[in-house]
Structures are given as structure tokens and as C-alpha cells.
Amino acid sequence: MPQLLLLEGLRRVDPATPLLRADDLGVLRGESVFETLRIAAGRPAFLAAHLARLAVSADRLDLALPQGWEELALMACDGVDEGVLRLVCAKGPPPLGFALVTDIPADAVRGRTFGVPAVTLTLGVTAAQRAEAPYLLGGVKSTSYAVNMATLRHARTLGAEEAIWMSSDGEVLEAPTATVALIVDGVLVTPPTSVGILAGTTLGAVLALDRVPCDVRRVTAHELQTADEVMLLSSVRGVAPVVSLDGRELGVGPVTADLRDAFEASLIS
């Protein structure tokens, strides 16, 4: 079912159409920005939040983001009940924007339903460093995701499916493609964006459901390792329980399961 639409001229093209020039900085230097959204009930979920973040990412890469993303996203979802929508803008010059619609991968549904085993891995920076050094691009959703993908491959060599990045001074950061949250004594605890992590739209949407008290604060490795429940939040997978962490069995916790189910219901209501 892949579908491809171009921002320029708001038009659908054959998904096999070659788009990017060989000298595009998005290709040569990884200087593209992107957003991945869930299409649910025929709509791009939390579109405004994703578009706001796309603009922030573009600004941080000094990428002149063209207009028309909302129209492009709505057009891309036309006639699609469920799916994944990627909005991508390569730096060019000139910048080139497109939307790609694909099916929801089976492993996303499996992860949300049955949970994922995870390991902690260092990102090699202190918790403060990515915010203090803006050129490290903490909190930017660029297509320079080779480190993120390599982290996930490394996690797989350790028998896990997911990784939780830790700072070199022992704090919880994020996962390579998800926000991390813990349940401690019934409170959802999650690190602040000031540790250089992406502002998760799924976290924002889950918190807006107001089902659990929340504490956004820096989180230590000890708190992570002794948490009652751990979950990963991201647009396509939704709320995925971490069923084991560094070999410690956690299972699917009741608060995580409630948040997951409430979030899924909110997407189709």
C-alpha cells in the first residue's frame, strides 16, 4: 500500500519515483527532518504537535521548511483508515518535502500488545551535555538516525528488542525511537527535555488523558532499575510495556496496560 505525495504541487506520484538528488544535503550529510505519525480512524493523529516539532527540528538544522505540510498530511491520509505517515523534508538546496504512507508494521502491534524486552545502553554523554551543546542536536528529529539504529541492533545482540539510553552520569534519557516512562508508587515519572531528549508527542497525548499523576524530572539508573513498571511511548507503537529490563522480569504492568488501552481508544474516538 505505499503511497507517496510531494509537498511541491501537493500531488501523488508513483511510490517508486526517484526523488532526491545525489547532492542533496539530506543524502550527503543526513540533514533532513522528519516526523512519523499514526494514521488512525482516517486522520493523522496529533498532527499539530508533529508539525510544531517538525518546524523546531528544521530551525535547528537551519533548513528552510517550505509551507503546506498540513494539507499534504491530510491529503496523504485521504481514504486510509490505519497506517503510518512519514513527513520528510530534505535540506536540498532547495528543500524537498514529501509524505510517505505505509502499513503499520506487525512488530509495532506485537510490541504494544505483548511488550518488549529492553537493555540499558550508554549514549556516552552526560545528562546536561546535549542541552548545553546545541550542535549535538538533542531533541531534534533529523534523519541522522544511524546511531539510533545501531543501538537497536546492538540491543538485539544482547537478546533484547529495545534499548534505553543512559547518560554517562547515570540518568535515564530516552530510547532510540521512543520516550521512556516509569511507574513508581502509582506516579508516571519521565525525564524532562532539558536532558536533550525529543519532546514526545505520544507522552503528551497520554498525559492529556489524565489517568495517572505525572512527575517530569530527572531519573536515576537506580530508579529505573527498581521501578514498578517501565514503558516506551512512540507514535506508531503507542504505549509499549517493557517486560524485562537488563534481565529483570517486569511483565505487563497494570498502569501501563491501562494507559496503553486508553491511548488506543482515544485514537479512534
Ligand X SMILES: Cc1ncc(COP(=O)(O)O)c(C=O)c1O
Instruction: Give contact residues for ligand X (rule: CB under 6 A).
Output: 36, 174, 176-179, 198, 200-202, 233-235
Q: Which is nearer to ligand X, 7 or 33 (CB)?
A: 33
Q: Is 122 helix (H, G, I), strand (E, B) or coil?
A: strand
Whole-number minimum distance, CB 254 to ligand X, in Å? Answer: 22
Whole-number minimum distance, CB 94 to ligand X, in Å? Answer: 26
Q: Which is nearer to ligand X, 65 or 175 (CB)?
A: 175
> Please, is 53 exposed, middle or buried when counting C-beta atoms within 10 Å of its C-beta (0-12, 13-18, 19+)?
buried
Whole-number minimum distance, CB 201 to ligand X, in Å? Answer: 3
Whole-number minimum distance, CB 176 to ligand X, in Å? Answer: 6
Whole-number minimum distance, CB 197 to ligand X, in Å? Answer: 6
> Please, is 223 exposed, middle or buried when counting C-beta atoms within 10 Å of its C-beta (0-12, 13-18, 19+)?
middle
Q: How many residues does the chain have?
A: 269
Whole-number minimum distance, CB 14 to ligand X, in Å? Answer: 27
Q: Which is nearer to ligand X, 240 or 255 (CB)?
A: 240
CA–CA separation, 263 and 205 (whole Å): 8
Element (H, E) at 182: strand 179-184
Q: Which is nearer to ligand X, 19 or 52 (CB)?
A: 52
Among 6, 111, 106, 101, residue whose Cα is nearest residue 44: 101
Q: Which is nearer to ligand X, 57 or 244 (CB)?
A: 57
- For the stretch 127-151, what's the b/e string if a residue is b when 16 or more beta carbons lie within 10 angstroms of its beta carbon? bebbbeeeeeebbbbbbeeeeeeeb
Q: Which is nearer to ligand X, 92 or 163 (CB)?
A: 163
252, 241 contact by CB (below 8 A): yes
Q: Is 241 helix (H, G, I), strand (E, B) or coil?
A: strand
